[in-house]
């Protein structure tokens, strides 16, 4: 209980004040009634004593209640502090984790932005290259050089240097883009690079229009004209191979010809001109390389046969030498066995000499030396 007032360092609570008032009242009543009712005064005195005892018990209980309350307050404050510490720690950890996640997200975002920036630069570079390629292909002479360079790169990648030649002049005075030298008397395969870009562009631009059929005829006629030129210039009996190649440096043009212009392909076969694209030209070069390798193996067959014979002789000579070495080895083994027999005999003789009884040895008198008597069976 909280005191209702304090005086000179002493505090008085409400209960103590009430008890004091009751005691004072009881004293007044006792003083007033003492002459008449002595027995009642005694009873009242007993009651006051009981009240005093009850007051002491009540004060003790109040003190115990105050102590328990203080302990509960301390435990409550301790629990509250612990919970606040845990909550503060959790909040701090959560903020730290959130900060780390945000940092990682920002780093990832920066990396993505850097990739996007590089991709944008690559796109700009590619756009410039496409523009340059478009300007290159718009020029007929530059376009021809582009197709010829692509053809030369493929030939250099798949054939040995002595198997081809570029810009060779034939016996009729015509210069061909490339000649592939086939083995023996098969002749050289002539290859010419053509790129009918103008007719191709007109045909693709006129798709699904009234001019489409005319553009397709012009494209077919342009390719047929190239086939005729190749057949008339680069197919020479006894000098070149029976078939010439017309190289188209565009897979799209090649696919369009095989998909929608079968008569052009048949005309090429009829005139012994085979149209190839970069992909089919690689397969053709692989086949030619295999043919060259097979011919080279046949030409070198006698050399290989001679080398195999010499190798067989060397193997026979090696076998003879191994046999001699084995004979020497067997003789060495026999010699070692005999040496060991001799050493065993010498060891036994030494053991016998060492086992003689020195007490029975003859005396030495002056210059007369009595020899050991020979035992039977001793060498």
Question: What is the rounded distance in angstroms from the CA atom of residue 265 to the CA atom of residue 255?
Answer: 11
Position with higher pLDDT, 51 vs 359 = 51
Question: What is the rounded distance in angstroms from the CA atom of residue 279 to the CA atom of residue 64?
Answer: 103
Q: For position 337, what pLDDT does the model report?
A: 82
- Given a cut of 80, whether residue 4 has pLDDT beyond it is no
Report how far apart, in Å, the C-alpha atoms of 84 and of each of 74, 87, 239, 264, 291 are: 15, 5, 101, 90, 88
Digit-coded pLDDT (tens) for 266-278: 988 899 998 888 8
Strands annotated E in 186-342: 188-193, 244-247, 273-276
Work out the average pLDDT over 1-14.
Answer: 56
Question: What is the rounded distance in angstroms from the CA atom of residue 297 to the CA atom of residue 290?
Answer: 10
In sequence order, the 6+-apart residues with CB closer than 8 A to the CB of 12 are 3, 4, 5, 6
- Given a cut of 80, whether residue 141 has pLDDT beyond it is no
Digit-coded pLDDT (tens) for 338-348: 888 888 888 88
Give the position of tokens 């149209």.
275
Confidence of residue 364 (pLDDT cuts 50, 70, 90): very low
Digit-coded pLDDT (tens) for 294-336: 877 777 777 777 777 788 888 888 888 888 888 887 888 888 8
CB-CB neighbours of 240 under 10 Å: 20
Q: For position 14, what pLDDT does the model report?
A: 66
In sequence order, the 6+-apart residues with CB closer than 8 A to the CB of 171 are 236, 239
Q: In the chain, count of helices (H) and strands (E)?
A: 9, 9
Which residues, listed in sequence order, are joined to residue 10 by a DSSP beta bridge? 7
Q: For position 378, what pLDDT does the model report?
A: 42
Question: What is the rounded distance in angstroms from the CA atom of residue 116 to the CA atom of residue 124?
Answer: 12
Give the lowest-confidence range in 122-126, 193-197, 203-207, 365-369. 365-369
The whole-model pTM stands at 0.45
Confidence of residue 1 (pLDDT cuts 50, 70, 90): low
Q: For position 127, what pLDDT does the model report?
A: 60
Digit-coded pLDDT (tens) for 57-81: 877 787 787 788 788 888 888 888 8
- Given a cut of 80, whether residue 36 has pLDDT beyond it is no
Which residues, listed in sequence order, are joined to residue 176 by a DSSP beta bridge? 168
| Cα 63 to chain centroid, rounded | 78
Give the position of tokens 């030409």.
299
Position with higher pLDDT, 147 vs 141 = 147
Asked if residue 251 lies in contact with residue 279, where contact means CB atoms within 8 angstroms, the answer is yes
Q: What is the mean pLDDT of the chain?
A: 77
Which tokens in the block code for residue 47?
A: 């009651």
Asked if residue 136 lies in contact with residue 142, where contact means CB atoms within 8 angstroms, the answer is yes
Q: For position 335, what pLDDT does the model report?
A: 80
Confidence of residue 367 (pLDDT cuts 50, 70, 90): very low
């Amino acid at each position: 209980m909280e005191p209702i007032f304090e005086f000179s360092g002493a505090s008085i609570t409400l209960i103590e004040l009430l008890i004091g008032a009751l005691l004072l009242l009881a004293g007044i009543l006792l003083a007033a009634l003492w002459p008449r009712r002595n027995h009642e005064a005694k009873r009242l005195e007993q009651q006051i004593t009981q009240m005093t005892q009850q007051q002491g018990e009540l004060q003790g209980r109040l003190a115990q209640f105050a102590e328990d309350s203080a302990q509960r307050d301390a435990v409550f404050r301790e629990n509250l502090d612990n919970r606040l510490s845990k909550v503060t720690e959790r909040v701090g950890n959560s903020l730290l984790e959130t900060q780390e996640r945000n940092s990682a997200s920002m780093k990832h975002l920066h990396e993505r932005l850097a990739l996007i920036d590089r991709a944008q630069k690559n796109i700009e570079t590619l756009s410039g290259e496409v523009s340059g390629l478009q300007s290159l292909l718009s020029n007929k002479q530059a376009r021809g050089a582009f197709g010829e360079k692509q053809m030369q790169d493929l030939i250099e990648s798949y054939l040995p240097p002595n198997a081809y030649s570029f810009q060779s002049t034939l016996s009729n005075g015509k210069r061909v883009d490339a000649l592939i030298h086939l083995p023996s008397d098969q002749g050289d395969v002539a290859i010419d690079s053509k790129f009918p870009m103008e007719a191709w562009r007109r045909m693709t631009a006129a798709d699904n229009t009234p001019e489409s059929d005319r553009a397709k005829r012009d494209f077919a006629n342009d390719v047929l004209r190239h086939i005729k030129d190749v057949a008339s210039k680069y197919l020479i009996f006894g000098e070149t191979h029976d078939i010439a190649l017309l190289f188209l440096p565009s897979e799209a043009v090649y696919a369009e010809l095989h998909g929608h212009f079968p008569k052009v392909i048949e005309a090429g076969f009829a005139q012994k001109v085979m149209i190839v694209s970069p992909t089919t030209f690689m397969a053709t070069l692989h086949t030619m390389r295999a043919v060259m390798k097979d011919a080279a193996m046949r030409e070198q067959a006698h050399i290989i046969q001679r080398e195999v014979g010499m190798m067989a002789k060397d193997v026979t000579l090696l076998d003879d030498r191994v046999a001699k070495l084995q004979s020497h080895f067997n003789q060495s083994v026999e010699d070692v066995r005999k040496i060991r027999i001799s050493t065993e005999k010498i060891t036994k003789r030494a053991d016998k000499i060492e086992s003689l009884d020195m007490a029975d040895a003859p005396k030495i008198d002056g210059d007369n030396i009595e020899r050991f008597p020979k035992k039977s069976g001793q060498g």
